[in-house]
Amino acid sequence: MKKIISLILTLISCGVGAADLPTLPSQQSNSPHKLFISSESNQRSFDSWTIDSGYAYNVFDKVDIYVGTRLDDKKEGGFLSGLSYQVSPRLSVKSSFHAYSNQDAPEGQENGIAAEVSSRVHLTEHLDLHATLDYQEWQQGFEVGIGFRF
C-alpha cells in the first residue's frame, strides 16, 4: 500500500510546475523618476563653479525632462528646467532655461532668464568633451572644455 501511495504522489508531483512571481516595486531598476546633482567648473576663472540639482522624469526611451535649482560662484541662484536627450551611449544633448537672481549684479540686471544648450561626448570611461552655448539677457558665451569624471 505504501508503494502505491508513493508511486501516485510521484506521478502527481511530476505534473506540478513553478511560475515566477512578479518583481517587487523596490526591486525594479527602471524607474522613470530620478534625482540628480551635477557640478561643473567653468572657463571664466580658476575658482568658477556651477552646481545643478533637481528631479528628472523619463518621458520617452532616451528623453528626460527636469526641474531643479542652480547655484554658482557669482552668488547667482535660481530655478532651471529643461530637456535632456541621450543620442547614443556616448553622446548626450541637453537644453535648459534658467531663471536667476543676483543681488550683486549691476542695477537692472539682478534678475533674468538664461538659455543654455550643451552637449557631452564620453571619450573614455573618465574623460569627457563638452560644449556649451549660453545666452543671458546681458551677455552671451560659448564654452568648449574637457572634463574628468570620477
Domains of the chain: 38-148 (2.40.160.40)
* β-strands 111-124, 91-101 pairing: antiparallel
Give mean pLDDT, residues 71-99.
88
Model pLDDT, residue 28: 62
Model pLDDT, residue 70: 86
Please give the span between the terminal C-alpha atoms of the chain, in angstroms, as a whole number: 71
Model pLDDT, residue 94: 92
| Alpha carbon distance 36, 50 (integer Å) | 14
Give mean pLDDT, residues 87-95.
93
CB 52 within 8 A of CB 68: yes
Q: How high is the mean pLDDT of the chain?
A: 78
Model pLDDT, residue 112: 79
Cell 549660453 -> residue:
134
CB 119 within 8 A of CB 131: yes
Cell 570611461 -> residue:
125
| Alpha carbon distance 96, 116 (integer Å) | 5
pLDDT in tens, 118-143: 888 888 888 888 888 888 776 666 66
Model pLDDT, residue 148: 60
pLDDT in tens, 5-44: 776 766 665 555 667 767 766 666 677 888 988 877 765 5
Give mean pLDDT, residues 58-66.
91
Cell 527636469 -> residue:
66
DSSP 26: G
